[in-house]
A and B are shown apart, each in its own frame.
Chain A
Amino acid sequence: MTELTIYEKSVSGRVGVVMPATDVPLSELPEDLLRSALDLPEVSELQAVRHFVNLSTKNHAIDKGFYPLGSCTMKYNPKINEDVARLPGFAHLHPLTDDSASQGALGLMHTLQEWLAEIAGFTGSSLVPAAGAQGELAGILMIRAYHQSRNDTKRTKILVPNSAHGTNPATVSMAGLQVVELPSDENGDVNLEAVRAACDDTVAGMMVTMPSTLGVFDTHIVEVINAVHACGGLMYMDGANMNALLGIVKPGELGFDVMHYNLHKTFSTPHGGGGPGCGAVGVNNKLVPFLPGPIVVIQEKPARKGEPPLYALEMPPQSIGRLKAFHGNFGMHVRAYAYIRTYGGTGLREVSRHAVLNANYVRSRLRDTYHMPYDRICAHEFVMEGHFEGVDSVHALDISKRLMDYGIHPPTNYFPLIVPEALLIEPTETEDKDTLDNFIEVMLTIAKEAKENPTLLTEAPHVTPVARLDEVRAAKQLVLCCRPLPQWALDQAGD
């Protein structure tokens, strides 16, 4: 049952929001610049509200049920964060307000910068990047700028494990450098010998996810870092899996030079159906001058003890430059601040302790039924294979689709690429034991169904608003817009 589009519900002449009358004399409009037609919906406010409410009911969401998406950290999004982000003093603050008139916002950002640096063991940070991928771009551009500043211009390569998230190699290409892909060993760790063999003076650095995308702590990460440093390269950490590391280990202390955080993973800012996020970056002394700006600095120390300092926005001296207009997704900074303030240092460690506890509990209850390629203690997530011996028709995809019939969102499918039929499961710390037990029961049931009645899986899902989709048709017959071309376009095409 598909909902009609908002256009299909429109009736010519219907008015939604009523705007006030014009309280100034009218001025002439430039006739030759006016548009001929405006094709937007015409619905009443009630129709619009019903439309979007009805659409929303077709979604699964954290607020509705379990969402064990590996590497996404689908933890509870606290409601207080939504309220504070909407305070008028934040929501109605223009980004180009004079620094002297935005000390509250600047103070919050400066404190968050310091907290993020402290949490991961870095010297400085920038809240500018809009998402993890942009944080990665900042990190690689900073590494490149660092070597350039030392006239070390031969370094054109970045080492990337073959288990890396796709944004890693894509980022390297965007920064104009060359990806050197390294294999993983049988433990799921990056192959140390391969790292050592690849390290030379043409290597700018290496990108590593810690814990790895397979959900395990790399047992020789320090040796990897040392090898790269020894040849003059810098180490970048993809912080997507930071939910396992809060108060457990500081990447900066291990030797990482730069990392990005995903505020929309680790620090509970909501995923919003695809975004927004914030990919803040932390750096050590080497890279502080290159941070993407502007960042918040202390312009003047307080006149008296107990008073706040004077904050200001500033471009770092050798900044890689602006990555977006203004200074970052401030609304997400507010939410992350509230989250970190709620937990404090000890509390954040509890987050990681329980995230890792939950993942290991689920893993240990499923390992007898599903094949685990790395059967060892995991971090905050683990990967297992979604297929059964003797049942050729059932793949990870089918298990995922069947899970939907039980009201559970599938785990991450087919990532990391190096595990066949991968199912990457990350429960997060906000799920209680009953929810986990229910998930385990469902997964065990699905395993039985696969052997006894595989079409239940291969034809799934059965109870969702729509069944499996024809993705080939979507790609071949591109329909990206539900309105016809305007008259001027038809006229032009006729020319």
Chain B
Amino acid sequence: MSYIPHTDVERQQMLAAIGVTTIEDLFEAVPSRYRFPKLDLPDGASEMEVAAELQSFAEANDHAGDFALFRGAGAYHHYIPSAVNHILLRGEFYTAYTPYQPEMSQGTLQAIFEYQTMIAQLTGMDGANASHYDGATSLAEAVIVGLEASRHARKKIVLSYGIHPHYRAVVRTYHQWAGLDIVGDDADHSAEDFANLIDEDTAMVAVATPDYFGRMADFRELAKRVHAAGALLVIVTNPMALALFKSPGEMGADIVVGEGQPLGIPLSYGGPYVGFFATKMGLMRRISGRIVGETLDKNGVKAYVMTLRPREQDIRRERATSNICTNQGLMALAATVYLSLMGKNGMKRAAELCYHKAHYAAAQIDHLNSYTVDQSQPFFHEFVIQCPVPVAQINAALYEAGIIGGIDLGADYPALKNHMLLCVTEMNSKDEIDTLVSILNEVSEKAGVTA
């Protein structure tokens, strides 16, 4: 029996030591009516057979290893240096537990401390926690901090339309019974209209840069308006963009959250990813999630330990602001290893490649007669294309050429019918981009669309 090492002799010895005759005797406390039900599952299989079965599942998917991928929308295809996986596969890291016993967990603890530091540096904040489940839940947790900061006196949360639709949905799920007034994301408000939604009842304002549509903005003016009203500003961001562009901390954010998947974590059909959460020192005691701090052991040796523990569920119980226990520890390690390998120079290069390739693609597409790319705002590596025919039609043509095209925005945003959200990263070669552009052109010509 796989992974169960007992021999018959050992079983007998153990039963004798316990003082029972059979293993079944150990289950007397379970009501006999319900004991030992049949589990209607396929019979067990050998490792060889299991490997083959999983292989066929894997082969029945169209993935970025076989196709050129131009799809982003919250999950990004970046190059992951080989060394990341080799480190992650070290049993000392991935088969270790949460570092509650610091003397036996200094590897995990120091890696988290370094992760916190790198996230704080990237986002321009004072500190970060050890991770949340993903970018969406990080935002939902930030809202909790906003509500706590006003002692629940303020009930209004202003969310930008530019925040990923899944993230906004998660905020609403988490807070569905809190009697909140969540506004602002009903339309693509101008900066002025958006700022005018802020009032004395506002606990928190959340915006994104780059946003779901790829657009970047400087929120320094908004930050002033938010703070003048006594509210907190959360900025949702993309860590790859932060290698080039101004940090949200510099813009005046109180909390910075986002998805860390671009940092050395594969697409993996949506998870596991890692939600980062960074903030200013003044809010550190209010945030949820594990936090690692530096200290000394009793011999004066520098060491790392989980700190500010009383915030957490095992101590605060019903008074904890969040129930989070298990986080995304190993993925935070992946991000730390990735950032260490890429370093300052590699990250800047990767971000530049994304930026230039995306802008090349945007220029080529915009140049086509029947397509328009909205370049009114600066963008990082994603942009919106107004198409002459339905996006599904374009994607079908691209698929024939081995390309997975962008997102059909009309599905989530009725006003954006026939608009495609396209993403270009360092993984897309110039040839792939040129092929994509020519197919876009072909599709509109075949459809007989004139300019």
B448 at the A interface (CB under 8 A): no
Residues of B contacting A272 in the complex (Cβ-Cβ under 8 angstroms)? 93-94, 96, 329-331, 333
Q: Is A72 an interface residue (CB 8 A)?
A: yes
Which parts of B204-259 form the interface with A (CB within 8 Å)?
Answer: 216, 218, 242-247, 249-250, 259
Cross-chain contact A471 with B305 (CB below 8 angstroms): yes
Q: Which of B271, B326, B333 contacts A132 (CB 8 A)?
A: B326
List, in ascending order, chain A residues with CB within 8 A of B299's CB.
467
The answer to whether A69 touches B103 (Cβ under 8 A) is no
Produce 1/0 per residue, A8-49, CB < 8 A to B: 001000111111101111110110111110111111010011
Choice from B87, B100, B243, B309 contacting A52 with Cβ under 8 Å: B87
Q: How far is the CA of A92 from the CA of B314 in the complex (A)?
A: 37
Selected contact of B91 from candidates A64, A253, A262, A431, CB within 8 Å: A64
Closest chain-A Cβ to B227's Cβ sits at a distance in Å of 13
Interface centre among A179, A253, A276 (most CB of B within 10 A): A276
Task: Give complex CA distance A353, B24 in Å.
Answer: 8
Contact flags A75-105 to B (C-beta < 8 A → 1, else 0): 1111010111111111111111110011111
Q: Does A67 contact B (CB under 8 A)?
A: yes
**Chain A residue nearest to B307 in the complex (CB):** A474
- Given contacts A432-B6, A469-B305, whether A102 and B218 have CB atoms under 8 Å apart is no
**A35-B245, A345-B38, A349-B36 are known contacts. Are A324 and B77 too (CB-CB below 8 A)?**
no
The answer, among B11, B71, B177, B301, for a CB contact under 8 Å with A175, is B177
Contact flags A453-493 to B (C-beta < 8 A → 1, else 0): 00000000100111111110111011111110110110000
Decide if B111 touches A55 in the complex (CB within 8 Å).
yes
Q: Which residues of B contact A93 (CB under 8 A)?
A: 61-64, 267-269
B85 touches A467 (CB 8 A): no
User: Contact check: which of A101, A415, A486 meets B61 at CB < 8 Å?
Assistant: A101
A387 on the interface (CB 8 Å rule)? no
Is B347 on the interface with A (CB-CB < 8 A)? yes
CA distance A340 to B294 in the complex (A): 41
Tell me whether B122 is interfacial, beta carbon within 8 Å.
yes
A57 touches B97 (CB 8 A): no
Residue B108 lies at the interface, judged by CB distance under 8 Å to chain A: yes
C-alpha spacing A61/B94, complex, angstroms: 8
- A14 neighbours in B (Cβ, 8 Å): 343
Inter-chain contact A478/B284, CB cutoff 8 Å:
yes
User: A176 on the interface (CB 8 Å rule)?
Assistant: yes
Residues from chain A with Cβ under 8 Å of B316 in the complex: 166, 170
Q: Knowing A30-B378, A131-B326 touch, does A430 contact B346 (C-beta < 8 A)? A: no
Select the stretch in B41-49, B154-162, B189-197 that faces chain A. Answer: B41-49
Contact of A466 among B36, B103, B363 (CB under 8 A): B103
Q: In A268-304, which residues have CB < 8 Å from any B CB?
A: 270-277, 279, 292
Interface check A196, CB cutoff 8 A: no
CB distance from A483 to the nearest CB of B (A): 5
Are the C-beta atoms of B28 and A141 separated by less than 8 Å?
no
- Contacts known (A5-B110, A40-B344); A169 close to B317, Cβ less than 8 A: yes
When chains A and B are docked, how far (Å) is the Cα of A39 from the Cα of B372?
Answer: 38
Complex Cα spacing A283 to B27, Å: 25
- Does A58 lie within 8 Å of B106, measured CB to CB? yes
A284 vs B50: C-alpha distance when bound (angstroms): 30
Interchain CB contact (< 8 A) of B95 among A219, A270, A326, A478: A270
Q: Does residue B55 face the partner (Cβ distance < 8 Å to A)?
A: yes
List A153-210 residues whose CB lies under 8 Å from chain B: 165-167, 169-177, 179
- Given the complex, which residues of A lie within 8 Å of B295, measured CB to CB? 469-471, 473-474, 477, 479
A-B contact count (CB 8 A): 699
Q: Are B23 and A357 in contact, CB atoms less than 8 angstroms apart?
A: yes
Select which of A137, A273, A351, A360 is within 8 A of B4 by beta carbon: A351
**B202 smallest CB distance to A (angstroms):** 21
A391 at the interface (CB under 8 A from B): no
B contact residues around A24 at 8 Å (CB): 356-357, 360, 430, 433
**Interchain nearest-CB distance for A51 vs B (Å):** 7
* Residue B308 lies at the interface, judged by CB distance under 8 Å to chain A: yes
Interface residue from A174, A216, A325, A353 paired with B164 (Cβ < 8 Å):
A325
Enumerate chain B residues within 8 angstroms of A94, measured Cβ to Cβ: 63-64, 69, 71, 75, 77, 267, 269, 404
Q: What is the distance, in angstroms, from B433's C-beta to the closest C-beta of chain A? A: 7
Chain B contributes a number of interface residues (CB within 8 A of A) equal to 208
Task: Indicate which residue in B35, B305, B356 contacts A249 across the interface (CB closer than 8 Å).
Answer: B35
The answer to whether B271 and A330 have CB atoms under 8 Å apart is: yes
Decide yes or no whether A444 CB sits under 8 A from chain B.
Answer: no
- Collect the chain A residues with CB atoms within 8 Å of residue B145's CB: none
A426 to B91 Cα, complex, angstroms:
20
Report whether A22 and B97 are in contact in the complex, using a CB–CB cutoff of 8 Å. Answer: no
Beta-carbon nearest neighbor of B299 in chain A: A467
Q: Tell me the count of chain A residues lying within 8 A, CB to CB, of chain B.
A: 207
- Residues facing B in A333-353 (CB within 8 A) are 334, 337-338, 340-351, 353
Q: What's the minimum C-beta distance from B58 to chain A, rounded to whole angstroms?
A: 3
Q: Does A395 contact B (CB under 8 A)?
A: no
Residue A399 lies at the interface, judged by CB distance under 8 Å to chain B:
no
User: Is B17's beta carbon under 8 Å from chain A?
Assistant: yes
* Residue from A86, A279, A342 with most neighbouring chain B CB atoms (10 Å): A342
Cα of A93 to Cα of B346 in the assembled complex, Å: 25
Question: Known interface pairs A48-B340, A77-B94, A346-B44. Does A274 touch B99 (Cβ–Cβ under 8 Å)?
Answer: yes
Q: Are the CB atoms of A20 and B326 closer together than 8 Å?
A: no
B93 touches A32 (CB 8 A): no
What distance in Å separates the Cβ of B256 from its nearest Cβ neighbour in chain A?
A: 13
B95 touches A62 (CB 8 A): yes
Q: Are A97 and B245 in touch, CB under 8 angstroms? A: no
Rounded to whole Å, the gap between the CB of B167 and the closest CB of chain A is: 6
* Interface flag for B102 (CB, 8 Å): yes
312-332 of chain B: CB within 8 A of chain A: 312-320, 322-332
A51 lies within 8 A of B340 (CB): yes
Q: Would B61 and A429 count as touching, CB distance under 8 A? A: no
Given contacts A96-B407, A474-B295, contact A16 B341 (CB under 8 A): yes
B103, B111, B407: the one within 8 Å of A404 (CB): B103
Which of A5, A26, A34, A141 is within 8 Å of B245, CB to CB? Answer: A34
Closest B residue, CB atoms, query A178: B318
Question: Can you list 29 A-B contacts (CB < 8 A)?
Answer: A7-B114, A16-B345, A22-B356, A33-B218, A35-B245, A35-B246, A41-B340, A52-B337, A58-B106, A89-B57, A92-B63, A93-B63, A131-B326, A131-B327, A167-B313, A270-B94, A273-B97, A273-B99, A273-B111, A273-B330, A329-B270, A341-B44, A346-B39, A356-B27, A357-B18, A400-B101, A415-B314, A469-B296, A480-B284
Q: With contacts A19-B426, A34-B246 known, what are 15 further pairs, Cβ within 8 A?
A: A10-B343, A40-B344, A77-B94, A90-B57, A92-B77, A94-B269, A130-B137, A131-B327, A166-B314, A173-B323, A249-B36, A322-B169, A332-B272, A343-B44, A471-B307
In order of increasing CB-CB distance, the 8 nearest A-B pairs are A274-B329, A89-B58, A63-B91, A272-B330, A104-B60, A326-B270, A95-B270, A321-B173
